[in-house]
Structure 1
Amino acid sequence: MKTHFPFCKGFIMAAALTSIMGLSSCLDDDDENYYNINYPNALVTVKSDANDSFFLQLDDSTTLLPVNLASSPFGDKEVRALANIEEVDEPSGAYTKAVHINWIDSILTKPIATDLGEENDQTYGTDPVEIVKDWVTIAEDGYLTLRFRTVWGAGSQPHFVNLLLGNNPDNPYEVEFRHNAYGDTYGESGDALVAFKLDGLPDTEGKTVKLTLKWKSFSGDKSAEFDYCTRKSLAPQNSAITSVRSNYKLK
């Protein structure tokens, strides 16, 4: 099955990712305020520039200057994150907009995994997932961010998720999502988020190409296409990658 996921940008109010964000399931009397503040409205990359100034990258061309935080809550690590932000009428300097961060929560952020050849299946697994068509399932700013759904049981070992190069001679922009549940394949289904840095792919030289994602689903092999352009250097980057917190056990 081949699915097309359109390129989506901007501040879009997300459906609740309660299993990921750990948000309360009980609404306040002021429902509108609850949704405005407690639900994510931006998917960003948390970065620092050459002067160690903390800023957010909203999409391939929009940078945000947080005015209520002096430093990144994630230290010097570059991560993808969900956030609730408000644009404010304050100077943004070299950045596109100034924003107030109501909250920000990091996503598991990883590089493309090393190809182990015949050991790929044993190490990275072949356990099925479903890729969820959602506003956070997107290729932007040099990352592929995925919302995926699988079965979570009572296993004590974290599930292992990775992205491998497809090694397709006819398509250098093909990647493969891998999931190793370590036998934790009985339980309830739930969603999680992960982001992969795509700097291992060939430079698109400013062009937008089709990035093909392949994965094993519960109903067989599937693929999807994303619009992808190599990350533009809008500001000096800190290239550190870190694996960060999730309510589900992931690594």
Structure 2
Amino acid sequence: MKINSVFNKTLLFVGAIVCTIGLQSCLDDDDNNAYYLRYPNALVTVKGAADDAFFLQLDDKTTLLPTNVKTSPFGDKEVRALVNYSEVNEPSGDYTKAVHINWIDSILTKPIAPDLGEENDEVYGTDPVEIVNDWVTIAEDGYLTLRFRTIWGGSKKHFVNLLLGQNLENPYEVEFRHNAYGDTCGSEGDGLVAFKLDELPDTEGKTVKLKLKWKSFSGEKSAEFDYCTRKAVTPSAAAITAVRSTLELR
């Protein structure tokens, strides 16, 4: 991801992992395992398969077959999720690897929001955020997943959306919107959200630059991501699920 301005790069997950590594020399095996299991080691798409089974799409090419969980904990919804898994020496069939899921937790997964024209500002808001340059801020497998930072007062649910850009010369331009509904006094907090990009034009197998625009606390900003249209969608329906977090989002 290429950011055109500098902002705070405090990395919650990466920082936690670094701290874990630093502590390992002082811990026994049980403690090491406990720390390892505490943090996610992958961002995946949870996809349905035949006979109510499911698999995890790790990136555009790598698929993971869970061996200890037979049906998706999210039902028939396709969602993005954080997961902690371990590779196992078991048959993986048509998938790249067989894995044991230690834990998995979905994040808010949404389609691109409809353009409401003059009502966009009122409905989707213009409240500022910072997009955090983190390992979970990525365009892959037909989704744009974002870690963002803003002020949370805790009195109302915040509303986050992705809109198609209005740039006729660049169909791969999108805009992140945030409506705090007046809940703008409090402390900084981070949220995670994933947007399905199936409304963008097909890149026909090519990798293009996806431009993301957003309003930050210091003005307008943008970032570019490498993006290629997902080659297969299973299932085809867009999924929406609630984020499991202390932050109130919708």
Structure 2 counterpart of 1:239, one-letter code: A
Where does residue 143 of structure 2 map in the other structure?
A: 143
Deviation of residue 50 (structure 1)?
A: 4.1
Number of residue pairs aligned between Structure 1 and Structure 2:
231
TM-score by length of 1: 0.87
1:91 match: 91
Other-structure match for 2:230: 231
Sort the Cα spacing of 1:4 and 1:91 in 2 relative to 1 into closer, same or farther, 3 A: farther
Mapping for residues 57-72 of structure 1, pairs under 5 Å:
57-72=57-72
**Which residue does 1:33 correspond to in 2?**
33
% identical equivalent positions: 74
Higher RCO, 1 or 2 (CA under 8 Å, sep at least 6)?
A: 1
- Deviation of 1:240 after TM superposition, in Å, equals 3.8
Alignment of 1:142-221 (within 5 A): 142-155=142-155, 157-221=156-220
CA gap of 1:154–1:51, structure 2 versus 1, over 3 A, is closer
SS of 1:150's partner is strand
- Cα deviation, 1:105-148, whole Å, max 9, x if unaligned, reads 00000000000000000000000000000000000000000000
Separation in 2, partners of 1:77, 1:228: 23
CA distance in 1 between counterparts of 2:172 and 2:238 reads 23
Paired AA for residue 177 in structure 2: R
CA contact under 8 A between 1:144 and 1:195: conserved in structure 2?
A: yes
- Gapped runs of 5+ residues in structure 1? 6-12, 18-27
* Alpha-carbon distance, 1:244 to partner: 1.3
Distance in 2, Cα, partners of 1:201 & 1:119: 22
Alignment deviations for residues 34-90 of structure 1 (CA, whole Å, 9 cap, x no partner): 331110000000001244321000000111100000100001110000000011110
Aligned AA (2:237): S
For 1:204 and 1:54, locate their aligned partners in 2 and report how far apart those are by CA, in whole Å.
27
Q: 1:194 to 1:236 in 2, by over 3 A?
A: closer
Question: Counterpart of 1:249 in 2: which secondary structure?
Answer: coil
Q: Distance in 2 between matches of 1:127 and 1:95?
A: 42
CA contact under 8 A between 2:110 and 2:238: conserved in structure 1? no
RMSD (CA atoms): 1.9
Which residue of 2 is the match for residue 131 of structure 1?
131
Counterpart of 1:25 in structure 2 is none
**TM-score of the superposition, structure 2-length normalised?**
0.88
What displacement does 1:167 show? 2.0
- 1:7-46 residue pairs with structure 2 within 5 A? 14-16=14-16, 31-46=31-46
Q: Is the 8 A contact 2:126 2:215 kept in 1?
A: yes
The change in CA–CA distance for 1:62 and 1:188 in structure 2 (over 3 A counts) is same
Q: Is the 8 A contact 1:164 1:177 kept in 2?
A: yes
Given that 1:50 and 1:236 are in contact with CA atoms closer than 8 Å, whether structure 2 keeps it comes out as: no
Q: Which protein has the bigger helix share?
A: 2
